[in-house]
């Protein structure tokens, strides 16, 4: 990858000596590294080492003579900022938005479009403390990325999670974060469930949370793509820096898709929303159930009918995509055998003509929060790929969709 400017912040952890290895690897790989160290960090690793490895003097003080505007200048210079190792203290200071030292001021002045990466290192009790957990959650919400901590024996002799990740893992995470995609895709992701109004207050809906759609939006945004999340009002919100619009009903989603696909040339539509297949009507009466339900007397039973709606997936391409644009569909089965799942995926390909189908089965859902056992099926007989987590799925889709040649493109050139 091409060399980039990295602002490398070292804080006061016993793992600070391992940050030297990370800096050394980054410099050897051609990156330009400038180091900031907290006063506590200097108790663990000396300026001479950090300056020798990076080739530049170390910045320490917010009010250093001649360097008073470093908190602005350094973040503007950097393509990414790395805090390695990140102490519990620095995580919690940043999460509180404190700007009374150089690291805090750098964080607040940071251009949030650029990656800010934390590689934590601490005692397992500090890592699992609610204050630290809350700090990490807050920073994640603001778009900060975390390199996963390792588990095992820590410097203090305790065993658990909190060790600094291996230097090679940290270097790979940094390079992954600053990598520019070969092709910047305009991606529309639908997410969450539609609600069908029965009357003014009652709805028929489903249990979709929109978690997968939001996760995909976050991943594609971090990979440098231009993402719009079209989500149900009740679904997980878009991550920071991702554009979002909301819908409640099928009709709202339908008309938003019409407008957006007409106005913007999306390269990819990931249709992860759980769209209701039916609208509600009262049996024997024309039109929608609407307010009629509320006005009826409870003494006289009546029957709600389900009137099929057209599948939104079927009309996405006709509404307008960029040339070679691709559609990703989702197929959920419940307790299907492999043969039944394959048949369901095959039917979706032939009826709706998506380019990729993500199949998952309700009964195979894992217990871990991020587990998402699924299989990605490409059109035209490509090899299906199994994923275990939402991260796997996001990476697989992004890699696949990055490739210029799509099944759709080859179809188009044949016709």
Ligand X SMILES: Cc1cc2nc3c(=O)[nH]c(=O)nc-3n(C[C@H](O)[C@H](O)[C@H](O)COP(=O)(O)O)c2cc1C
**In which element (H, E) is residue 229 found?**
strand 226-232
* Binder among 6, 7, 12, 329 for ligand X (CB under 6 A): 12
* Binder among 20, 33, 36, 41 for ligand X (CB under 6 A): 41
Largest distance between two CA atoms of the chain = 87
* Binder among 20, 74, 83, 126 for ligand X (CB under 6 A): 126
DSSP assignment letter at 58: P
Ranges of H-type helices in 110-200: 124-127, 130-141, 167-178
* Binder among 89, 234, 402, 407 for ligand X (CB under 6 A): 89
Report in angstroms how near the CB of residue 97 gets to ligand X at its nearest: 15
Which CB atom, from 7 or from 126, has the smaller least distance to ligand X? Answer: 126
| Catalytic choice (20, 156, 223, 246) | 156
Structural tokens at position 393 = 């799925």
Quick check: 238 binds ligand X (CB under 6 A)?
A: no
User: Contact region for ligand X (CB under 6 A) — 38-46, 59-67, 315-323, 350-358?
Assistant: 38-46
Query: Do 312 and 257 contact (CB within 8 A), yes or no?
Result: yes
Report in angstroms how near the CB of residue 43 gets to ligand X at its nearest: 7
Which CB atom, from 17 or from 302, has the smaller least distance to ligand X? Answer: 17
Query: Token match 């939006």: residue?
Result: 217
d(CA 256, CA 286) in angstroms, rounded, equals 26
Report in angstroms how near the CB of residue 255 gets to ligand X at its nearest: 51
d(CA 218, CA 8) in angstroms, rounded, equals 24
d(CA 406, CA 295) in angstroms, rounded, equals 53
Quick check: 59 binds ligand X (CB under 6 A)?
A: no
Report in angstroms how near the CB of residue 184 gets to ligand X at its nearest: 36
Quick check: 42 binds ligand X (CB under 6 A)?
A: no
Residue 237: Cβ-neighbour burial (10 angstroms; 0-12, 13-18, 19+): middle
Q: Catalytic annotation on 223?
A: no
DSSP assignment letter at 274: B
DSSP assignment letter at 41: G
Which CB atom, from 121 or from 401, has the smaller least distance to ligand X? Answer: 121
User: Contact region for ligand X (CB under 6 A) — 7-15, 21-29, 108-116, 355-363?
Assistant: 7-15
DSSP assignment letter at 87: P
Quick check: 13 binds ligand X (CB under 6 A)?
A: yes
Report in angstroms how near the CB of residue 323 gets to ligand X at its nearest: 51
Strands 186-191 and 226-232: parallel
Binding site for ligand X (CB under 6 A): 11-15, 38, 40-41, 87-90, 121-122, 126
Catalytic residues: 156
């Amino acid at each position: 990858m091409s060399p980039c400017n990295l602002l490398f912040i070292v804080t006061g952890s016993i793992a600070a000596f391992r940050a030297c290895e990370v800096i050394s690897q980054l410099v050897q790989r051609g990156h330009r590294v400038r180091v900031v160290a907290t006063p506590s960090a200097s108790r663990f690793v000396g300026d001479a080492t950090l300056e020798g490895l990076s080739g530049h003097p170390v910045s320490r003080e917010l009010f250093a003579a001649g360097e008073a505007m470093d908190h602005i200048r350094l973040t503007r210079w950097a393509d990414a900022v790395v805090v390695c190792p990140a102490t519990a203290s620095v995580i919690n200071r940043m999460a509180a938005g404190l700007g009374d030292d150089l690291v805090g001021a750098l964080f607040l002045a940071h251009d949030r479009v650029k990656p800010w990466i934390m590689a934590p290192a601490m005692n397992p009790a500090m890592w699992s403390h609610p204050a630290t957990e809350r700090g990490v959650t807050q920073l994640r919400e603001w778009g900060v990325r975390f390199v996963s901590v390792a588990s095992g024996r820590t410097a203090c002799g305790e065993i658990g999670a909190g060790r600094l990740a291996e230097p090679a893992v940290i270097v790979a995470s940094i390079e992954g974060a600053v990598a520019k995609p070969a092709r910047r895709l305009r991606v529309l992701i639908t997410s969450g469930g539609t609600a069908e109004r029965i009357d003014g207050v009652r709805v028929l809906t489903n249990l979709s949370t929109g978690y997968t759609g939001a996760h995909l939006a976050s991943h594609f945004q971090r990979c440098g793509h231009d993402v719009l999340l079209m989500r149900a009002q009740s679904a997980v919100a878009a991550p920071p820096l991702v554009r979002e619009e909301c819908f409640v009903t099928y009709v709202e989603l339908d008309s938003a898709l019409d407008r957006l696909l007409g106005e913007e040339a999306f390269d990819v539509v990931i249709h992860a929303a759980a769209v209701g297949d039916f609208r509600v009507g009262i049996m024997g009466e024309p039109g929608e159930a609407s307010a009629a339900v509320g006005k009826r007397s409870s003494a006289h039973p009546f029957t709600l009918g389900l009137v099929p709606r057209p599948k939104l997936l079927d009309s996405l391409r006709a509404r307008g995509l960029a040339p070679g644009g691709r559609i990703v569909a989702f197929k959920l089965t419940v307790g299907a055998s492999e043969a039944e799942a394959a048949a369901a995926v095959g039917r979706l390909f032939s009826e709706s003509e998506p380019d990729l189908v993500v199949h998952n089965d309700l009964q195979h859902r894992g217990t871990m929060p991020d587990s998402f056992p699924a299989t990605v099926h490409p059109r035209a007989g490509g090899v299906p790929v199994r994923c275990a987590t939402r991260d796997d799925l996001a990476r697989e889709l992004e890699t696949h969709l990055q490739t210029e040649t799509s099944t759709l493109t080859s179809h188009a050139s044949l016709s």
